[in-house]
Structure formats: C-alpha cells, structure tokens
Amino acid sequence: MAAANPLITADAIEATEFMDLSRKYRVTGVPKTIVNETIEIMGGLPEQDFVRAALDLPELQ
Amino acid sequence: MGLLSGQDETVLKQHLSTISKPVQLVLFTQAFGGSETGQVAKQILNEIAGLNDKITVVEKNFVLDLEDKAKYRIDKAPAIVILSDDVDTRMRMYGAPTGYEFVGLVEAILVAGTGNIDLEPETMAWIQAVTTPTHIQVFSTPT
C-alpha cells in the first residue's frame, strides 16, 4: 500500500522485540494491524477486505 | 555460517533476478544497549545483498546518525528502511527479519526493485484515492 501511494507509510513490527508497543496496542495475537492509531484489524484478511478495513471504506453490499 | 541454506539462496536468487532498479536497505542498529537482533538483521541483509548486485546495505547508527534517523523518521532499532533507486518507499521493518518477517522483507525488496505491486486493479484504485497521511503498523512474530 505504501508503494502505491506516497501518503501511506507501512511499518512491519516484530511484536516480541518491541513489547512496549505491543502492550500499547494490546497485541494479543498476530498479525494485528493498527492504522492511524485508531483502526485495529485482527488477523489476516483477504486483500480487498483488508484494504477496506484499513482505509475505513464502507462495506460492499 | 550463513543463516540462509544453499537451497534458500538458490530460490531467493531466482526471485531477486527480476529486479531492475537499485535497492538500498538502510539498517539502523544500536551498538550499545541494543539487542542482538540488530546483528541478526545485519547478517540477513548482507546475505540477501550477496545474491544480487543491485541490492546494497547501508548501516546507520541509531544513536549517532541523527540526521538520517530524522530523515527516515526512525524511532526504534533495529530498523530497516527500503529505498528504491535512492527514493524512500515508506516501507519499514522493525526487528530482525526472520520467519514470516523474512518473507515480507523479500516481497518489499521485489516491489522496490521491480516497481510491480501485486494488487487487484480495484484495490489499487482505492489505495491511490487516499488523500490524507496514513500510517499502517502491522505486528507479527517470526513463527
């Protein structure tokens, strides 16, 4: 996503190495994704579902 | 002894052969007070760089190289910044890139080195429509 839009930054964080951050974001399982400190996505999702959730786009009808 | 097996190297070399642009892997480590994973990260990056001459590793000191730290907005180490032909891809990896993280690193290198983003056209359109700064943090573990 970062490669596709210069406004997006993507960090992959090793959860056990950065325990303070893991605690801050309540990482109890992986993968866990945090977007702009507000959106939380638990687990892996199919591509479109993930991007919709990350960008807070409305659900498809 | 290398971290990658001979078989891993052969497969990886084949994948990396599709790279057409120079890729710089900027590694921030902390010599004192840092974790051992910085050294693991360094070894992994050097082994990857040894498989393709378009890939280079640039090592930075997390404590001393303040200008670079600010430039790439690095707030923790070890950190890997992936550049495509000296341009920041805004893809970062924090911690040693082992296990699943290693796969992610290789995919990021391929995106940086080929310019190819393997997403569906519709998904790509949604991403390109983003008009505000967006910070994505993905937490994972090696296994």
| Residue B138 β-bridge partners | A12, A33
> Residue A60: inside a domain, yes or no?
no
Cross-chain residue pair A9–B95, CB shorter than 8 Å: no
Cross-chain residue pair B95–A17, CB shorter than 8 Å: yes
Asked if B120 is an interface residue toward chain A (Cβ–Cβ < 8 A), one would say: yes
Question: Which among B136, B139, B140 has CB closest to A9?
Answer: B136
Q: Mean pLDDT, consecutive 10-residue segments, chain B of 143 residues?
A: 86 96 97 81 96 97 96 96 97 94 95 96 97 97 84
Count of domains observed in chain A: 1
Return the structure tokens found at B139. Answer: 């937490």
Distance (Å, whole) CA B65 – CA B59: 10
Helix/strand/coil (H/E/C) assignment for every residue in B89-104: EEEEEECCCCCHHHHH
Q: Is the pLDDT of residue A60 over 90?
A: no
Q: What domains appear along chain B, each with residue ranges and CATH number?
A: 6-10+20-128 (3.40.30.10)
Give the domain extent around A24. Answer: 2-54
Would you place residue A33 in the very low, low, confident or very high pLDDT band (cuts 50, 70, 90)? very high
Average pLDDT over residues A35-60: 93
Q: Which residues contact B132 (CB under 8 A, 6 or more apart)?
A: A7
pLDDT of residue A61: 55
Which residues in chain B are closer than 8 Å to A35, comparing Cβ atoms?
Answer: 134-137
> Residue A50: inside a domain, yes or no?
yes
pLDDT of residue B34: 66
Sheet holding B23-29, edge to edge: A39-42, A32-35, B134-140, A8-14, B87-94, B79-84, B23-29, B55-61
ipTM score for this prediction:
0.96
Cross-chain residue pair B112–A10, CB shorter than 8 Å: no
Q: What is the DSSP secondary-structure string of A37-53? A: TTEEEES---HHHHHHH
> Residue A59: inside a domain, yes or no?
no
pLDDT of residue B117: 95
pLDDT of residue B32: 74
